[in-house]
Amino acid sequence: MRALEEKLANIKDSVIEIHNLSWKAVEVAIDGLEGDDVKKRIASKTEHIVDVMNTDIDCACLSVVALFQPVAWDLRFTLSMLRISGHYERISDLAQEIAMYTIKSGFEEAIKEFKKMEKNIEKMFNLIGDALKTGNTKKLKDKLGRLDDVVDRHYVESIELIVKTTKSNPDLIEDMVDMVLIARHFERIADLLSKIGSRLIFIEEGRRVWIK
């Protein structure tokens, strides 16, 4: 069915675009956190675009189900794109929230851990982007799992540094909560990327996997 193929191809293109936009939001998050107002605006604008695109993708997927009643791979793809698009929308939300904070000096060591988390998250984005484009999910589970473990480790280390910094400088106690939330947001972004990877494996291989 040529019409169905075109619809699915358009959905795939839109999901690849929302994938790239979500990474853009994450990429500017640290700069926004460190006080770059331009990057804060980019994160906010990108989050808004992703919101709109998520709604459009949802509508396109529902239209495919209603008009074509897809089965097998087509059905797995369509329903999974609904979930994946929603995950990207949440990622852009979290990135925007990170960018909207402005952290006072004193937490430089913790921010270094955030940057390490971001670097590994970038690798996760690259793996998922390749899988989206090519449909090749071979070893995706293992690779994403290892990277998510690294992000988790930096998350724990950042929390330890945040607590240590606050103990030595009680004046930063109000900022401590913000820092913990930021660390949690980065960790959650990695979790959502793992969920996206699981969905891509389900689409291509027809099996459910649990990454994280």
Looking at residue 104, the DSSP 8-state letter turns out to be P
Does any domain span residue 53? yes
Looking at residue 1, the DSSP 8-state letter turns out to be -
Does any domain span residue 150? yes
pTM of the model as a whole:
0.96
pLDDT at 211: 87
Does any domain span residue 19? yes
Does any domain span residue 71? yes
pLDDT at 172: 86
In one-letter notation, the amino acid at residue 165 is T
In one-letter notation, the amino acid at residue 139 is K
- Which of 125, 118, 59, 54 lies closest to 86, judged by CA? 54
pLDDT at 170: 87
Contact 93, 47 (CB under 8 A): yes
Mean pLDDT for 130-156 is 97
Does any domain span residue 7? yes
Q: Which has the minimum average pLDDT: 35-49, 52-66, 82-96, 170-184?
A: 170-184
Contact 132, 37 (CB under 8 A): no
Identify the domain containing residue 166 by its residue range.
Answer: 2-205
Is residue 3's pLDDT more than 90?
A: yes
Q: Return the CATH number at 190.
A: 1.20.58.220
Mean pLDDT for 157-171 is 92
Is residue 206's pLDDT more than 80?
A: yes
Kindly provide the residue ranges of all beta strands, DSSP E only, lying in the chain, ordered along the sequence: none
Does any domain span residue 130? yes
CA angle 154, 23, 12 (to 5 degrees): 130
Q: Which has the minimum average pLDDT: 8-17, 153-162, 164-173?
A: 164-173
* Banded model confidence at residue 171, pLDDT cuts 50, 70, 90: confident
Does any domain span residue 212? no
In one-letter notation, the amino acid at residue 94 is L
* Banded model confidence at residue 9, pLDDT cuts 50, 70, 90: very high
Domain count, the chain: 1
Is residue 212's pLDDT more than 90?
A: no
Does any domain span residue 43? yes
- Give dist(CA 110, CA 94) in Å, integer: 18
